Amino acid sequence: MEYVIHLIILINIYIILTTSSNLLVGLTNLLSLGQAALYGIGAYLSVLALMVFHWPLIPTLLFSMIITSLLSLLLAWPSLRLKGDYFVLATLGFQLIVFTILYNWVSVTRGPYGIPGIPAPKLLNNIEISGLWAFFVLSLVLVVVVVFLFHNLIHSPFGRALKGIRDDELSMQALGKNVTALKIQAFVISSAFIAISGFLYATYVSYIDPTSFNLDESIFILSALIVGGLGNIRGPVIGALVVILLPEALRFIGLPDSVAANMRQIIYGLALIVLMRFRPQGIAGNYSIK
């Protein structure tokens, strides 16, 4: 049972990551490779608030979300003037810069040694949120809130404006919409909610190091989003379920230990290739990247 609860907590973390990233990739057609950098910034800021400032849950979350969204402007402001592959390369550069800082700024981040012993968050009345079931409830509450907010956001005038930019940016400009401002707003909102995943991961695992937030993690998040589907709220949720549960399910097919890890990666990769060949918009998506 503890194993199942652990998987559910991981799924909840990735649902928040994919749902937040969907605002950029699925609604605005901005293919970003910088999600793991923002994820890591949110995690390290949460650790700062918990271990240095000794703040409770809500102030820690707000601090992480606000500072992460402000730092995302360093990427959004210059890179959103770029198009297509150039934007992807800009986000890739941001990802590499953040990872390098986290890895080499040893006096602050402890670099490759990581930060152990991260304390559990506390509620305002100093009730500590510790233990598997407590994190299960916390992650579930945060997922419900995030999914509810993004569901309303997608169907709001702001969400429809982002879809308009995705489908025909020139027409939106002709209608008098400030396309750059809308993209920056989407970037900031997405980054703020990605920070929630960083907070959950850091406090649940109680240890972080830069390798948890590298380029491979960005690609994994993007894969989950594309597999599940873009442009709606169902796709990111299904994508998080698939990328977490499929590798775990492959553990039980009885492969020899000497080849199990490699074979799981091969089977997982083949499953993704087949899905992209016959269902390019993802399992539950209504839009495919162009």
Number of H helices, E strands in the chain: 12, 0
Name residues whose C-beta falls within 8 Å of residue 217's C-beta, 6 or more positions apart in sequence: 35, 36, 39
The answer to whether residues 85 and 93 touch, using CB atoms and an 8 Å cutoff, is: no
Range scoring the smallest mean pLDDT among 186-195, 231-240, 257-266: 257-266
pLDDT digits (tens, 9 = 90+) for 80-127: 777 778 889 999 999 999 999 999 999 999 999 999 999 999 887 678
With CA atoms as reference, report the closest residue to 187 among 40, 19, 69, 93: 69
- Contact between 45 and 103 (Cβ < 8 Å): no
3-state SS, residue 20 = helix
Q: Do residues 24 and 194 touch, judged by C-beta distance below 8 A?
A: no
Contact 198, 25 (CB under 8 A): no
Q: How far apart are CA 29 and CA 156, in angstroms?
A: 18
Strand partners, 122: 128
The pTM for the full model equals 0.93
Cα 191 to Cα 230: distance, rounded to the nearest angstrom: 18
Report pLDDT for 264. Answer: 65
* pLDDT one-digit tens code per residue, 120-176: 998 876 788 888 999 999 999 999 999 999 999 999 999 999 999 888 888 888 888
Residue 13 has pLDDT above 70, yes or no: yes
